[in-house]
Structure 1
Amino acid sequence: MDTEAVRSFVRAAELGQLQHAADELGVTQQAISKRIATLERELEVRLFTRTARGVQLTLDGQAFLSHARSIVAGVDRAVTAVRPGSRALRIDVLGFRTAQAVLLHDYWRSHPETDLDVVTLRVNDPHEVAAAVQAGDLDASFRTVTDPATLPRDVHMIHAFDCPLELLVGPRHPLASARTVTPAQLRKLRIWVPGIAPRSEWGEFYDQLATAFDLRIDAAGPNFGNEVLLDTLADSADVATLASARDRYVWPTTYDLRRIPIVNPTLVYPLSLMLPRTNPHPGLRAIINHFATLTPVPEPAWLPSWARHHAAAPTASRTPDTE
């Protein structure tokens, strides 16, 4: 079996676009298509269906993906074993404007000697990401399995840092001039969070948040990305959304969007880091210690049920042994 064809399949599955996989692997889209077609003929199954937005795994493709990741990770480990030096620290983030990516970039700017490979694994189920960590395809991932008992035995999960939420609204929204808002003031508002994915930790987070404060979280419609969401907020007098205070959003100055802190209590989205239980990448220690220096979220604070035990424990005390 051609391992480069397997690698091409894995990256196309994770990125959802043949062209994106081709760009990352330094080949043409036609080469990626030929590799995958050859692999499908060898396996005698169809791995992808084409859609208007890219490619989507078939049931056979889904069944093959975890095994394919293991093949790629095994090849990478074999090459690393005989190649001088070691590969970059590979960390999965949800997106390049998320708090995880922003803080990693801040760390890297202060430590440019750090060899970082920041990737976005495009899956919603954190158990799939845990499998990638277990296979060695990732050194760490900012994902949370809300029931740690369901983690693979050789994958460890630690608390990384907390993100206070803000209300994001356009200039015509009734709360646009507020300096702060409380959760009670958010009741009956339309809080639009499109594309909340089943089996994701953020899906469970919003379920608990809505129940705790009697909020109207509207997940209707497909997620067309932050740009469309920001366009909608700028034009609307009644739509709002929730955003992490640490996320980086960019919009035209004419939008005049407002980021309003939520207080009494502060609503907190906790970020965890999944990594191998034994022999984690040595570059992780310094990054985790960096997170421990972040300014704590304002009290009082609300956290989802799976993270409340973290509130009393400093992050540094949970730093894994990378020696």
Structure 2
Amino acid sequence: MDLQQMRYVVAVAETRNFTRAAERCYVVQSSLSHRIAGLERELGVRLFARSSRRVELTAAGEAFVARAREALAAADRAVAEASAASGVVRGRLVVGVIVTTAAVDVPEVLQRYRARHPEVRVMLRSGRSDELAAAIRRGDVDIAFLGLPEGDQPSGVESVVLDHDEHVLVVAAGHRLAGAARVGLREIAEETFVDFVAGTPARAQSDQAFAAAGLVRDVAYEAGVVELITRLVARGLGVALLPSAFIRPLAARDPGLALVPVADGPRRVEYLAWSRFPPSPATRAMLDVLGVAGARA
């Protein structure tokens, strides 16, 4: 058994297809299939259940892949640590980011990181704060920018606070509240709302604020991306509550939107999060770029 066989098995497990796995590994399919078949003979078990239409992991395959991923990660980590000891940071860095990140300019941070560490392969993944925190715990994401309701903290990860922010009301330019100096939740509770999908941290920020005020609102439109939320608002289909630091630059470029401060509106905290396990050299390098001290080696 060798690491390359493990990489082939993991690639098939993730793509559920021998052809796509071979393409990912830059090898002909016959060679990949031959190496996996040899590994199965060595182990004395079938790792995959094959049919003409699909490939599925067997129970033995599920158990093998879990440990194979750990072995490959350890091997990659050994190479990265050896390179770091010689003064060169190599390896891979997976950065998670929520779509409403505003505490840092993510592209600018990645540009600075790349200038300092050009041999690190950086991958960017977008997602919900809870999903990204879970991905850090699993080891699928190295570091992430999160946003949570005030009072909540990322669980099971190391984290530092990047910024505190409050939401503003986003309305169409012709809305009756456009131009108001300030509103309260009770004044807008009867409005039709556009918001993120129920159950997400982004949605919880507003839900918790209304619940704390003893108010119920009507969320008629749910969306997973801010662009759709603001387009619906601009069409007059509803109003929205969004983090001020994120939405102000967008609203300044969109004459169809108006922003109104909310006296008792939702508040959120932006965090930088990473694994509680000692960070990789590539992760430590990103923490250094971000000016975060005290990460365990």
Distance in 2 separating the partners of 1:250 and 1:144: 18
Residues 126 and 144 of structure 1 are in contact (CA less than 8 Å); yes or no, is this contact kept in structure 2? Answer: no
| Correspondence for 1:98 | 101
| Correspondence for 1:140 | 143
Residues 108 and 114 of structure 1 are in contact (CA less than 8 Å); yes or no, is this contact kept in structure 2? Answer: no
**Deviations along 1:43-93, whole A, 9 cap, x unmatched?**
3289xx9xxxxxxx99x9xx8897676455334324434555323654211
Aligned ranges for residues 233-244 of structure 1 at < 5 Å? Answer: 233-236=233-236, 239-244=238-243
Larger strand percent:
2
Distance in 2 separating the partners of 1:165 and 1:276: 29
| Correspondence for 1:43 | 48
Q: Tell me how far 1:6 sits from its aligned partner.
A: 2.2
Q: 1:126 to 1:103 in 2, by over 3 A?
A: same
Which secondary structure state, in structure 1, belongs to the residue aligned with residue 115 of structure 2?
Answer: coil
Q: Tell me how far 1:239 sits from its aligned partner.
A: 0.5
Q: 1:80 to 1:45 in 2, by over 3 A?
A: farther
| Correspondence for 1:131 | 137
Aligned ranges for residues 52-63 of structure 1 at < 5 Å? Answer: none
| Correspondence for 1:283 | 285
With normalisation by structure 2, the TM-score equals 0.62
Aligned ranges for residues 211-230 of structure 1 at < 5 Å? Answer: 211-213=211-213, 214=215, 216=217, 218=219, 220-221=221-222, 223=223, 225-230=225-230
Percent identity over paired residues:
16
Residues 165 and 267 of structure 2 are in contact (CA less than 8 Å); yes or no, is this contact kept in structure 1? Answer: yes
With normalisation by structure 1, the TM-score equals 0.58
Residues 180 and 260 of structure 2 are in contact (CA less than 8 Å); yes or no, is this contact kept in structure 1? Answer: no
Distance in 2 separating the partners of 1:176 and 1:71: 57
Q: Tell me how far 1:171 sits from its aligned partner.
A: 1.8
Q: 1:188 to 1:104 in 2, by over 3 A?
A: same
Residues 182 and 262 of structure 2 are in contact (CA less than 8 Å); yes or no, is this contact kept in structure 1? Answer: yes
**Deviations along 1:188-234, whole A, 9 cap, x unmatched?**
222211423x3x4334433312202325261655x363333333222
The one-letter code sitting in structure 1 at the alignment partner of 2:271 is: S
Q: 1:256 to 1:144 in 2, by over 3 A?
A: closer
Residues 251 and 258 of structure 2 are in contact (CA less than 8 Å); yes or no, is this contact kept in structure 1? Answer: no
The one-letter code sitting in structure 2 at the alignment partner of 1:44 is: A
The one-letter code sitting in structure 1 at the alignment partner of 2:246 is: D
Q: Tell me how far 1:169 sits from its aligned partner.
A: 1.7
Q: 1:258 to 1:144 in 2, by over 3 A?
A: closer
Which secondary structure state, in structure 2, belongs to the residue aligned with residue 73 of structure 1?
Answer: helix
Which secondary structure state, in structure 2, belongs to the residue aligned with residue 239 of structure 1?
Answer: coil
| Correspondence for 1:312 | none
- Are 1:6 and 2:10 an aligned pair? yes
| Correspondence for 2:74 | 74
- Are 1:186 and 2:188 an aligned pair? yes
Q: 1:93 to 1:68 in 2, by over 3 A?
A: farther
Residues 205 and 267 of structure 2 are in contact (CA less than 8 Å); yes or no, is this contact kept in structure 1? Answer: no
| Correspondence for 1:158 | 160
Q: 1:106 to 1:184 in 2, by over 3 A?
A: farther
- Aligned-residue Cα RMSD (Å) equals 4.8
Residues 113 and 289 of structure 2 are in contact (CA less than 8 Å); yes or no, is this contact kept in structure 1? Answer: no
For this pair of structures, how many residues does the alignment match?
Answer: 256
Distance in 2 separating the partners of 1:208 and 1:226: 20
Distance in 2 separating the partners of 1:66 and 1:178: 56
Which secondary structure state, in structure 1, belongs to the residue aligned with residue 231 of structure 2?
Answer: helix
Q: 1:73 to 1:182 in 2, by over 3 A?
A: farther
| Correspondence for 1:295 | none
Distance in 1 separating the partners of 2:239 and 2:246: 16
Q: 1:69 to 1:5 in 2, by over 3 A?
A: same
| Correspondence for 1:246 | 245
| Correspondence for 2:171 | 169
Residues 158 and 275 of structure 2 are in contact (CA less than 8 Å); yes or no, is this contact kept in structure 1? Answer: yes
**Deviations along 1:105-160, whole A, 9 cap, x unmatched?**
3445677734483521546545522323xx3x433122479476x62xxx323323
Which secondary structure state, in structure 1, belongs to the residue aligned with residue 141 of structure 2?
Answer: coil
Distance in 2 separating the partners of 1:9 and 1:86: 26
Residues 172 and 235 of structure 2 are in contact (CA less than 8 Å); yes or no, is this contact kept in structure 1? Answer: yes
Residues 196 and 202 of structure 2 are in contact (CA less than 8 Å); yes or no, is this contact kept in structure 1? Answer: no
